[in-house]
Amino acid sequence: MAKKVTLKEDFLKGIWKENPILIALLGLCPTLAVTISVENGLAMGLAASFVLICSSTLISILRNLIPKQVRIASFIVIIATFVTIADRYLAAFYPDISKNLGPFIPLIIVNCMILGRQEAFASKNGVGRSILDAVGMGIGFTLVLIILSGIRELLGSGTLLGMQVMWPSFSPWMVMILPPGAFLTLGLMIGASNWINDRRAK
């Protein structure tokens, strides 16, 4: 019984308690840069999750074979392989999204969230738990990106997923799709999550 709870926790902690963006503040570079539209945020979240899940799976399988002196080098090669697969896939089948995301897909290679999960979890735990951990973290990362990009697109362009949702006379807040908008929105989101956690603790 006790073990079952742990598995559930492995999965759920990435979504809220140890959310990679809101709590651990990892992988902020793509978070801030690409979230000007929901489409971008979603694509980024899914690409990073794909890389995370594949890398965690493979690395937890190989964890006893990789000597600890070369573990980081091995992790990076494995992560880079999956990133390249994701990057080429997007370029071939979703060229518009790939064009929008520019260099940020290749930059997933150095995303601390992914390397962090390998070092902290996948290289020390079994395959099943590592997959659960990666899926949870991926969902947590993607959800935050969707919310962040949703707020920015709604206020900055008046649209959601490219469809007009604000009233016609609404004048978009330019600042929201510029870098300051990303910092402001993310700051408020982190503040809100801290506030909720504080209230819960009491």
Partner 1 sequence: MNTSVKMILVLTIIATLSGGLLSFWDAFTSPKIEEYRQKEVKKAVKEVLPSAENYREDIKTAGPYTFYLGYDGNELIGLAFNVKGGGFQDIISLMVGVTPDFSQITGLSVLDQKETPGLGTKIAEDPSRKGDETWFTNQFRGKSPFPEIYYVKNKKAEADSEIEAISGATISSQAVINILNFHIARAKEAWSNPGQADLMQDCDEKTPDQHIRISEEDALFNVLPSADKYVKKEAGNFKFFLTYNENKISGIAYRSEGRGYEGPIKLLIGLEPDFETITGLAVLEYCETPGFGTRILSDPSRPAEKNWFLQQFPGKKISPALTLIHNKEPGLPNEIEAVSGATVTSQTIINIINTSVPEARTAFQSIK
- Is residue 77 close enough to count as binding partner 1 by CB under 8 A? yes
Q: Which is nearer to partner 1, 164 or 197 (CB)?
A: 164
Contact 96, 119 (CB under 8 A): no
> What is d(CA 18, CA 117) in angstroms, rounded to the nearest whole number?
11
How would you label 9-24 residue by residue, b for 16+ Cβ within 10 Å and e otherwise? ebbebbbeebbbbbbb
Q: Which stretch binds partner 1 (CB under 8 A): 15-23, 48-56, 90-98, 140-148?
A: 90-98
Instruction: Please list every residue from 140 through 179 that binds partner 1, using CB under 8 A.
Output: 156-157, 172, 174, 177-178
Among 61, 70, 188, 192, binds partner 1 (CB under 8 A): 70
Shortest spacing between CB 178 and partner 1, in angstroms: 7
Span near partner 1 by CB under 8 A; candidates 45-53, 84-92, 108-116, 117-125 = 84-92
Q: Does 57 bind partner 1 (CB under 8 A)?
A: no
Q: What is the 3-state secondary structure (H, E, C) of 58-72?
A: HHHHHCCCCCHHHHH
Count Cβ atoms below 10 Å from residue 104 Cβ, excluding itself: 20
What is the Cα–Cα distance from 150 to 165, expressed in whole angstroms?
12
Report the residue from 3, 64, 67, 167 that binds partner 1 according to the rule CB under 8 A.
Answer: 67
- Residue matched to tokens 């020390």: 124
159 forms beta bridges with 164
Q: Is residue 38 near partner 1 by the rule CB under 8 A?
A: no
Q: Is 180 in the site for partner 1 (CB under 8 A)?
A: no
Tokens of 149: 């990009």
Return residues touching partner 1 (CB under 8 A). Answer: 36, 62, 65-67, 69-70, 73-74, 77-78, 80-81, 84-85, 88-89, 91-93, 95, 99, 102, 156-157, 172, 174, 177-178
